[in-house]
């Protein structure tokens, strides 16, 4: 084992779904920095092109993909050729309490967060299994295990994604394919704009974790590189928490000595 190259991804072919912004963008850049050839897939192709323009000439390419379109996913799996690593970050949220939720809103959140993930795992996992290797990395959330009012459907999809990936690990593992989830805490991305705009809400979230702050998108990239690389060759069916201690700490009250 050459430990100096443990995290290298030289010539690995990677597809990052949601690479046009936020965690997806930083993941794509980090993977390219470690030698991977990365397809930056996003419905917002202009955003994906901005990711490509940020560096690593020749290592990054943009690709237009709407993951709500089943046929487009199948087409992408065929057009992009053999893929060694699939990363998907795309998600949405409607912050409403259960009694206020509409059926349309339910369908919208489930369609992107869970159904699209299912289709991606099927389309790209098939080729990986046939080739005998691959790594599938999906983004769950702290909301897959801890909840708060207004997060019902989002939390359900993130918990469901964990079980989907665990099942993929069980079914595809004999063919050499690994499947894992990353569970971020609070991260400053476009998805959390509603919270960031409310200073009290923002501060309360910052205080909840052990580190007392929010994460930046780039702080999730190391976990992606790890799970994509040979450093995680025996890691599958796992949930890697990158949450600043959110799920380890049960509140910010400091009891007296």
> Which member of 154, 202, 205, 226 is catalytic?
154
86 confidence band (pLDDT: 50, 70, 90): very high
b/e burial code for range 67-96 (CB count within 10 A of at least 16 → b): beeeebbeebbeebeebbbbbbbbbebbeb
Per-residue pLDDT tens digits for 106-124: 999 999 999 999 999 999 9
Looking at residues 5-21, what average pLDDT do you find? 97
Measured CA to CA, the distance from residue 52 to residue 39 in angstroms comes to: 9
Percent of the chain with pLDDT over 90: 91
* 101 is known as an active-site residue: no
Residue 118: predicted pLDDT: 98
The answer to whether position 207 is within a domain reads: yes
Q: Determine which helix (DSSP H) or strand (DSSP E) holds 30, and give its type and residue range.
A: helix 22-33
The answer to whether position 138 is within a domain reads: yes
The answer to whether position 250 is within a domain reads: no
Residues 88/42, Cβ–Cβ less than 8 Å: no
Into how many domains does the chain fold? 1
Name which of 162, 65, 153, 139 is nearest 110 in CA terms.
Answer: 153
The two tokens of residue 166 are 């665990």
Percent of the chain with pLDDT over 70: 98
Per-residue pLDDT tens digits for 194-251: 788 899 999 999 999 999 999 999 999 999 999 999 999 999 999 999 999 999 998 7
Residue range(s) defining the domain that contains residue 187:
7-242
pTM over the 0.75 mark:
yes
The answer to whether position 120 is within a domain reads: yes
Q: What is the CATH number of the domain that holds 40?
A: 3.40.50.720
Examine the pLDDT at 12 and tell me if it is beyond 90: yes
The answer to whether position 174 is within a domain reads: yes
The answer to whether position 1 is within a domain reads: no
The 10 Å Cβ neighbour count of residue 207 is: 12
């Amino acid at each position: 084992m050459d430990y100096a190259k443990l995290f290298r991804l030289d010539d690995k072919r990677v597809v990052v779904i949601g690479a046009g912004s936020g965690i997806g963008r930083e993941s794509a850049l980090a993977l390219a920095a470690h030698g991977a050839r990365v397809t930056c897939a996003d419905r917002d192709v202009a955003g994906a092109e901005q990711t490509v323009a940020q560096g690593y000439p020749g290592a990054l390419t943009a690709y237009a993909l709407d993951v709500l379109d089943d046929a487009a996913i199948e087409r992408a799996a065929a057009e992009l050729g053999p893929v060694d690593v699939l990363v998907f970050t795309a998600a949405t949220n409607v912050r409403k309490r259960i009694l206020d939720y509409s059926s349309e809103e339910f369908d919208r959140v489930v369609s992107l967060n869970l159904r699209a993930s299912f289709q991606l795992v099927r389309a790209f996992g098939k080729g990986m299994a046939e080739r005998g290797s691959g790594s599938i990395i999906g983004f769950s959330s702290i909301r897959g295990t801890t909840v708060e009012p207004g997060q019902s459907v989002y939390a359900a999809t993130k918990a469901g994604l964990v079980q989907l990936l665990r099942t993929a690990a069980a079914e595809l593992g004999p063919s050499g394919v690994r499947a894992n989830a990353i569970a971020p805490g609070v991260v400053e991305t476009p998805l959390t704009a509603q919270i960031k705009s409310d200073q009290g809400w923002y501060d309360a979230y910052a205080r909840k974790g052990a580190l007392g702050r929010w994460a930046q998108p780039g702080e999730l990239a190391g976990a992606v590189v790890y799970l994509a690389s040979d450093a995680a060759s025996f890691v599958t069916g796992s949930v890697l928490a990158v949450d600043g201690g959110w799920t380890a700490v049960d509140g910010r009250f400091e009891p007296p000595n």
